[in-house]
Amino acid sequence: MSARNNHHRRRIKLNPHSLFCFLLVSMLCSKQGSAQVNNHSSPPFTARLINMEAATNTTFTYNTRLHNGAAASRVYQLSASLPPGWSSSFKVEGVQVTSLNIDSEKTQDISLEINPAIETKPGKYNIPVLAVTGTDSARLNLEAVVKGTYTVTLTTPSGRLSDEVTEGNRKEIHLLVKNTGTITLDNLDLSGQAPPQWEAAFVPSTITRLEPGKDAEVIATLSVPDKTLAGDYVTNFSVKNPNASSTAAFRMTVKTSALTGWLGILVIVAALGAVYYLIRKYGRR
């Protein structure tokens, strides 16, 4: 009886070591199995950013990745479900595509560009994207948050885009900058492309902030050089920032000064007098 008890005690002493080994092996197997499951269950179609916010007249660009986990290469057809009037394009290495072939266990970077319709109202829009191959498909749900439009208009208070100036003088032109969009415009810069040797200056030269529906008046001064020939000249005034721009073509009619006209008449009279004198003096010989 004592021998049996001693043998039973020896078996109990061995159990903790065996149990520890068993648990250690089980944990290692469990981790390996978990890693395999996670790798297998990772989505084949992903995007670096699935939600983007921009203006209506801005291109939404999504950087996506498509993985082929099959044992053979596959051809994927790409498509995006868009609201009416919207457009999209898929690009691989800068080339527009509608389908692509991906080798087994390879991943391809795909750029998706989406342009909302100009009349799109502000809000959040869901965009399902599909990569279909045979009977299988990979789905990616994207979101485009449209926050409004960037639009600016450059004109004059009266709407008239023409005036007159005398050569050698300056002319002040009152311009009107309007924010016709739905988003505030910051740091709008004024500039002018004038004829050669003309100068254009603006006060102010930059509009720091312009709220939607508001306008700001700018005074442009054109300096016309002396001896500019009479005629019509066009100066292109521009206002812009990184999000919006507008250009107005302003026609300026240059006239010669009265002094210049009288000088011209005097030169003509002097020339005629000289001719008459020469005829009187040498015509009899």
Q: How far apart are CA 117 and CA 232, in angstroms?
A: 40
Q: Which fold has domain 45-146?
A: Immunoglobulin-like (2.60.40)
Residue 39 pLDDT grade (very low, low, confident, very high; cuts 50, 70, 90): very low
- C-alpha 262: how far from chain center: 56
Residue 230, SS3 per DSSP = coil
Tens digits of per-residue pLDDT, 91-128? 999 999 999 999 999 999 999 999 999 889 999 999 99
Residue 257 pLDDT grade (very low, low, confident, very high; cuts 50, 70, 90): low
Q: Distances from the Cα of 279 to the Cαs of 265, 267, 276, 285, in angstroms?
A: 21, 18, 5, 10
- C-alpha 75: how far from chain center: 32
Q: How far apart are CA 112 and CA 89, in angstroms?
A: 6
Q: What is the reported pLDDT for 18?
A: 59
Is residue 142 a contact partner of residue 50, using CB atoms and an 8 Å limit? yes
Q: What is the reported pLDDT for 57?
A: 87
Q: Which of 184, 191, 197, 198 is nearest to 244 (CA)?
A: 184
Give yes or no on whether 45-146 and 152-258 have one common fold.
yes
Q: Which fold has domain 152-258?
A: Immunoglobulin-like (2.60.40)
- What is the Rg, in whole angstroms, of the alpha carbon atoms belonging to the chain? 39
Q: What are the phi and psi torsion angles at 179 (to 5°)?
A: -90, 100
Q: Which of 218, 260, 261, 209 is nearest to 237 (CA)?
A: 218
Q: How far apart are CA 224 and CA 119, in angstroms?
A: 43
H helix and E strand count, the chain: 2, 19
Q: How far apart are CA 262 and CA 271, in angstroms?
A: 14
- C-alpha 115: how far from chain center: 11
What residue ranges do the domains of the chain occupy?
Answer: 45-146, 152-258
pTM over 0.75: no
Residue 223, SS3 per DSSP = strand
Q: What is the reported pLDDT for 261?
A: 57
